[in-house]
Chain A
């Protein structure tokens, strides 16, 4: 049990590493920075592997909880606590393993960068936040991690802050994510209001004990489960880049390529899928929202896959591929194939991280060039990169027995059981995926080199520190699917599905429609999806294979000019947002500014100024002439009186004496006259 007790160290170590590198800064030698930057996630990986192994062998199928301390406010008590159950086990292994490999790769990729310490500080911080997100045992800890990874995403997209575009892309990602986060918070508030707790266990137990309670009408014509799941799903749409909030992810490629691999392909963007699966108890009781999840996922998958066709930037192709694959995961989660969604999340993390790191290796070799039209024929110069990239391409295309086939097939099987149209969209997307990924592979590694001679002379394979993670991820991409081989008749070796079963168990009456396709149908569906993938690959080969170079693609563009123009411009979605939301915000801001300047400043503030000045003038006038006038009047009266009387006081004693004498004479005379006369 000791490894389990160290669970709290898993998120803490990368956070501590981040703080340490941030505090040490560029003053210390690079090897020390590297040691901290790799040591923290490395230890975290080791602990998490041991903890998950201990968990799977001892505590499973019960969840393991580790309470650090109770954070209480008023009546709401929330623990800072970690949860290890099958779902978070899978997530923590994927995050730490892929994360550690990308850290190793970054040491090579970012070796010459002046912001080396800053980069690794952010990257470690991301790891810590992501692990908080997946390990938290309640919604609040998840939300802290959720916001933390959003912050790191913003920081790392805008990593090259001296340039103009990356900071813009960072802001775009942050703002678009805020829209989703807002809905997410509203969902959490609804949960607190209803259950008085955010603890997964308590909330899900309360829901499961009274499934009908949460299905009663609650708000806006939705049931409680429907409302909460809708809010949470809007949050997931923002974080996991689904329609209509996917626009930030392609721009997020402005960040360093390992960041694209880790955050914007393998881990952070899958947080939405994780969250939907984590709350599957609620989603099972909200069929409306689940249908919406599946529809949004399917449409996004198809939509992004078509855009990927017209992209010439290798990272943009992978970005739209990521959006498309995330749509796949939501399709799986929406149709109730939760373990398939998480399975695809895991396998996708391997091959998409590998694809991004491979593209990073290519960009590295091409002296920073990202345009596939100037690549070509790189397989001789970059043998390891080519081999691993090819494995990942085959894996994402869904060719058995590589990882992508198994996970994708389970999602398609789930979609078939739910609705045939969803399945058809998934199938078409599978074919498109194979096609555009092989297009990228062929444009990059086959044919003749189309770049400048100067770039050609610098072509080189990346150092071992970069190729080693590629190889490890390639092994994972090839073999990860084998842990989740779908059930075929009586042959049931779907270890992954059984492991996840306790978390995604059916709730209430929602489990009734769960059914299993027959062996024949299962094999048929597999065959059709493989056929779609092979068809896609054949199309790509026909267009770009051999020595054709760019001519094949240009022929398509000439034949379908309108479609090509729409796809090249990504359905004009950015332009539509620009014309509506952004222009609207700008004009609203301008209007408010005018209101501010005209009404608030002009009328209220300046008006009150004028009134005050006028009143002051009046009051000053009154003071000066009335109050002061009365005061001066009294003084003036006193002065006039004293002027009269002071003239008597001459200072001549003789005069005073004369007055006394005359006065006495007069009085005596008066007396005599009155008395005697």
Chain B
């Protein structure tokens, strides 16, 4: 049986919502980071799903755009992971914590 494309989109929406909820509620920096990764991958899933819809309607150009965009997002996510983890290590060395509610120097 073929899984309809809408299911993928629904899954992507669920994942995105979970990621958003995690990013807004977690206090651990790494956890927020993970939530954001989840949101990115939810977006990737949605893009791939749209790419499939484009294939089925015969629009090869849009289909390829979707595929390539996903690869870009993956690359950006990898770079983001590297920079983000390095940032958190640096912050941890200074503050001995990565609780974002205690990293509040930039306030009035």
Instruction: With CB as the reference atom, state the residue of chain B lying closest to A642.
Output: B108
Q: How many A-B residue pairs have CB under 8 A?
A: 30
Q: Is the CB of A653 within 8 A of B108?
A: no
Which residues from chain B contact A649 at a C-beta distance below 8 Å?
A: 106-108
Which residues from chain B contact A658 at a C-beta distance below 8 Å?
A: 24
Q: Of residues 260 to 277 in A, which have CB atoms within 8 Å of B's CB atoms?
A: none
Which residues from chain A contact B24 at a C-beta distance below 8 Å?
A: 654, 657-658, 661
Q: Is the CB of B106 within 8 A of A654?
A: no
Residue-by-residue, is A324-363 near B (CB-CB < 8 Å gives 1, otherwise 0)? 0000000000000000000000000000000000000000
Give the size of the chain B interface in residues (CB under 8 angstroms): 15
Instruction: With CB as the reference atom, state the residue of chain B lying closest to A664.
Output: B20
From A646, A647, A653, A661, B100 is in contact (CB under 8 Å) with: A653
Which residues from chain B contact A491 at a C-beta distance below 8 Å?
A: none
Q: Of residues 633 to 677 in A, which have CB atoms within 8 Å of B's CB atoms?
A: 646-647, 649-654, 657-658, 661
| A646-B108, A647-B108, A649-B106 known; A654-B100 Cβ under 8 A | yes
B27 at the A interface (CB under 8 A): yes
Q: Is the CB of A651 within 8 A of B20?
A: no
| A661-B20, A661-B24 known; A654-B101 Cβ under 8 A | yes
Q: Is the CB of A654 within 8 A of B20?
A: no
Q: Is the CB of A651 within 8 A of B105?
A: yes
- Which of B23, B27, B106 counts the most A-chain CB atoms under 10 A from its CB? B23
From B27, B105, B107, B108, A654 is in contact (CB under 8 Å) with: B27
- The answer for the CA separation of A650 and B108 in the assembled complex, in Å, is 7
Smallest CB-CB A-B distances: 3 pairs: A651-B104, A651-B107, A646-B108
Q: Is the CB of A657 within 8 A of B23?
A: yes
Instruction: With CB as the reference atom, state the residue of chain B lying closest to A643.
Output: B108
- The answer for the CA separation of A653 and B106 in the assembled complex, in Å, is 10
17 contacts between A and B (CB under 8 A): A646-B108, A649-B106, A649-B107, A650-B104, A651-B105, A651-B106, A651-B107, A652-B100, A653-B32, A653-B100, A653-B101, A654-B24, A654-B25, A654-B26, A654-B101, A658-B24, A661-B24
Instruction: With CB as the reference atom, state the residue of chain A lying closest to B102.
Output: A651
- The answer for the CA separation of A647 and B108 in the assembled complex, in Å, is 7
Q: Is the CB of B107 within 8 A of A650?
A: yes
Which residues from chain B contact A657 at a C-beta distance below 8 Å?
A: 23-24
A668 to chain B, nearest CB (A): 12
- Which of B101, B103, B108 counts the most A-chain CB atoms under 10 A from its CB? B108
- The interface of chain A, by Cβ under 8 A from chain B, is 646-647, 649-654, 657-658, 661
- The answer for the CA separation of A650 and B105 in the assembled complex, in Å, is 10
Residue-by-residue, is B69-108 near A (CB-CB < 8 Å gives 1, otherwise 0)? 0000000000000000000000000000000110111111
A663 to chain B, nearest CB (A): 13
Which residues from chain A contact B25 at a C-beta distance below 8 Å?
A: 654
- The answer for the CA separation of A646 and B108 in the assembled complex, in Å, is 6
Further contacts, 12 of them, CB under 8 A, given A653-B32, A661-B24: A647-B108, A649-B107, A649-B108, A650-B104, A651-B104, A652-B101, A652-B104, A653-B100, A653-B101, A654-B25, A658-B24, A661-B20
Instruction: With CB as the reference atom, state the residue of chain A lying closest to B29.
Output: A653
| A658-B24, A661-B24 known; A653-B103 Cβ under 8 A | yes
- The answer for the CA separation of A658 and B24 in the assembled complex, in Å, is 6
Which residues from chain A contact B108 at a C-beta distance below 8 Å?
A: 646-647, 649
- The answer for the CA separation of A651 and B107 in the assembled complex, in Å, is 5
Which residues from chain A contact B104 at a C-beta distance below 8 Å?
A: 650-652
- The answer for the CA separation of A649 and B104 in the assembled complex, in Å, is 10
Which residues from chain B contact A650 at a C-beta distance below 8 Å?
A: 104, 107
- Which of A650, A657, A661 counts the most B-chain CB atoms under 10 A from its CB? A657
- The answer for the CA separation of A657 and B108 in the assembled complex, in Å, is 18
Residue-by-residue, is B12-38 near A (CB-CB < 8 Å gives 1, otherwise 0)? 000000001001111100001000000
Which residues from chain B contact A661 at a C-beta distance below 8 Å?
A: 20, 24
Instruction: With CB as the reference atom, state the residue of chain B lying closest to A646.
Output: B108
Which residues from chain B contact A647 at a C-beta distance below 8 Å?
A: 108
Which residues from chain A contact B107 at a C-beta distance below 8 Å?
A: 649-651
- The answer for the CA separation of A654 and B25 in the assembled complex, in Å, is 7
- The answer for the CA separation of A661 and B17 in the assembled complex, in Å, is 11
B3 to chain A, nearest CB (A): 27
A648 to chain B, nearest CB (A): 9
- The answer for the CA separation of A490 and B9 in the assembled complex, in Å, is 169
Which residues from chain A contact B26 at a C-beta distance below 8 Å?
A: 654
B10 to chain A, nearest CB (A): 17
Which residues from chain B contact A651 at a C-beta distance below 8 Å?
A: 103-107
Instruction: With CB as the reference atom, state the residue of chain B lying closest to A650.
Output: B107
- The answer for the CA separation of A654 and B101 in the assembled complex, in Å, is 8
- The answer for the CA separation of A658 and B25 in the assembled complex, in Å, is 9
Which residues from chain A contact B27 at a C-beta distance below 8 Å?
A: 654
- The answer for the CA separation of A649 and B25 in the assembled complex, in Å, is 18
Instruction: With CB as the reference atom, state the residue of chain A lying closest to B26.
Output: A654
- The answer for the CA separation of A429 and B107 in the assembled complex, in Å, is 119
A665 to chain B, nearest CB (A): 10
B23 to chain A, nearest CB (A): 6
B42 to chain A, nearest CB (A): 14
Instruction: With CB as the reference atom, state the residue of chain A lying closest to B36.
Output: A657
Instruction: With CB as the reference atom, state the residue of chain A lying closest to B100.
Output: A653
- The answer for the CA separation of A657 and B25 in the assembled complex, in Å, is 10
A656 to chain B, nearest CB (A): 10
B32 to chain A, nearest CB (A): 8
Which residues from chain A contact B23 at a C-beta distance below 8 Å?
A: 657
- The answer for the CA separation of A652 and B24 in the assembled complex, in Å, is 11
A177 to chain B, nearest CB (A): 91
- The answer for the CA separation of A255 and B32 in the assembled complex, in Å, is 117
Instruction: With CB as the reference atom, state the residue of chain A lying closest to B104.
Output: A651
- The answer for the CA separation of A652 and B32 in the assembled complex, in Å, is 13
